[in-house]
Amino acid sequence: MSELLKSVWASLYAWAFPSAVAIAYYALLIYPEALSLHKYAPTEFEIDTKVAYLGLTAMIATCLAALRTPLYRILEGYLLWPRWLKAAGVKRHLRIKRAFDAAVRAGGSGWPFGLTLEDYARYPMRDDQIVPSKFGNAIRAFETYGKTRFNLDSQTLWHELYAVAPKYIQQKIEQAQSSVDFFVAGVFLSLFLAVATVVTGVLEDYDRTIFILAAPPLFVAFLSHWIAIRATDEWAYSVQALVNIGRVKLADSLGLSLPETLAEEREMWGLATKFVYFADADAGAGLNRFRRKSLAPADGEACAEDEPEAETPTED
């Protein structure tokens, strides 16, 4: 029951609270100035209005939670971005990553170098994994962690890894993901609120007072995006721990024996990924040498305890 309550609270915190704030901002500051809209809804908060407020908050939060993946893909640069903008974004972030490469190789000390390392860690190790946006690169950096270190595709084997992970790591991942969800919701709700405010200002004969009220939501949208990028750090550390610790238990759960060398382990996880994702028969055959030896006796052999005891002659 406690786990269910934690899950409900995470959803309320991540999606419902920003929705409630956005609706309250419009209802309290913008709607009273929108005289042309007053004939469609009351201007004072009554019991029915409060119920409608809660219902609208729940509806918006549910829609945002259901659309989580598309919302993330927009911020990552995969969805709704024109091809030329994607290409320009990838080129720009490749240039930034290579500048970080040079700075890290040059070395340094103190907190400025530490901040450089933090920024550098928000980019994937491989150049072919660079995506058009800074937020997308921060996500891609920990999505490819297992692949670049152990040749383990954590995206393909995510549910298996998560199932064998310690409870502490599972909770840390959920908490970190909820924090990022909160600021992602803040980005889209603030942008929508700014657009709604501008539209209301147009309907009110280009009321400058209403137009000015669109500035705070725009500021919150940019601030939420900036914080969302940095909030991925805790998520990245949690996924890193998931891969580092969980892969040992994952190998055992899949009936595999972890090899002695890292090179052999990378080969094993590469074969496992191909077999799971592509049902590759050759990869499955290659996995045979990594499978844990059965403890069952060979055919034709019997365990000592299974052999029938010789009857002891008794005296009449």
Residue 303 has a pLDDT of 43
Q: Let me know if residue 141 belongs to a domain.
A: yes
Whether the pLDDT of residue 302 is over 50: the answer is no
Q: Is the dihedral of CA 297, 300, 306, 307 positive or negative?
A: negative
Domain with 47 in it: 10-253
Specify if 278 maps to a domain. no
CA-wise closest residue to 178 among 230, 235, 223: 235
Considering the domain boundaries, does residue 74 fall inside one?
Answer: yes
Report which secondary-structure segment, H or E, holds 106.
helix 83-106
How many CA atoms does the CB half-sphere of 15 hold within 13 Å? 19
Q: Give domain status of residue 267, yes or no.
A: no
Grade residue 40 by pLDDT with cuts at 50, 70 and 90. low
Does the pLDDT value for residue 299 go beyond 50? no
Name the range with the highest mean pLDDT among 26-35, 86-95, 207-216: 86-95
What would the pLDDT profile of 209-219 be if each residue is shown by its tens digit? 899 999 999 99
Assess if residue 239 is contained within a domain: yes
The answer for residues whose C-beta is within 8 angstroms of residue 65's C-beta and 6 or more apart is 11, 14, 15
Q: Which amino acid is at 40?
A: Y
Q: What percent of the chain has pLDDT over 70?
A: 86
Residue 146 has pLDDT above 70, yes or no: yes
Torsion of CA 36, 39, 44, 46, to 10 degrees: -150
pLDDT-based confidence at residue 35 (cuts at 50, 70, 90): confident
Kindly state the DSSP code that residue 288 receives in the 8-state scheme.
G
Mean pLDDT of 178-202: 95
Q: Cα(294)–Cα(226) distance, rounded to whole angstroms?
A: 53
Phi and psi angles of residue 261, each rounded to the nearest 5 degrees, phi first: -105, 150
Whether the CB-CB separation of 180 and 235 falls below 8 Å is answered with yes
CA 241 vs. chain centroid, Å, equals 15
In a domain, 63, yes or no: yes
Residue type, 179: S
**What is residue 307's predicted lDDT score, i.e. its pLDDT?**
44
pLDDT value for 199:
93
Query: Does residue 41 surpass a pLDDT of 90?
Result: no
DSSP bridge partners of 256 = 291
Distance in angstroms (rounded) separating the CA atoms of residues 47 and 74: 38
Percent residues over pLDDT 90 in the chain: 74
Q: What is the rounded average pLDDT of the residues 110-114? A: 91
**56 touches 27 (CB < 8 A):** no
Split into its structural domains, the chain has a count of: 1
- Whether residue 271 lies inside any domain: the answer is no
Report whether pLDDT(85) > 80.
yes
Residue 281 inside a domain? The answer is no
Neighbours of 249 (CB within 10 A): 15
Q: For the residues 27-38, what does the mean pLDDT come to?
A: 81
What is the pLDDT, as a whole number, of residue 296?
34
The rounded distance, in Å, linking the Cα atoms of 102 and 104 is: 6
Q: What is the pLDDT of residue 284?
A: 92
**Residue 108 confidence (pLDDT):** 87
Tokens 């729940």 belong to residue: 58
Q: What is the mean pLDDT of residues 123-149?
A: 96
Which range has the worst mean pLDDT, 67-81, 266-280, 287-301?
A: 287-301
Confidence (pLDDT) at 8: 61
- Band the pLDDT of 315: cuts 50, 70, 90: very low
- The rounded mean pLDDT for the chain is 88
Q: pLDDT-derived band of residue 45, with 50, 70 and 90 as boundaries?
A: low
For residue 174, the SS3 value is helix
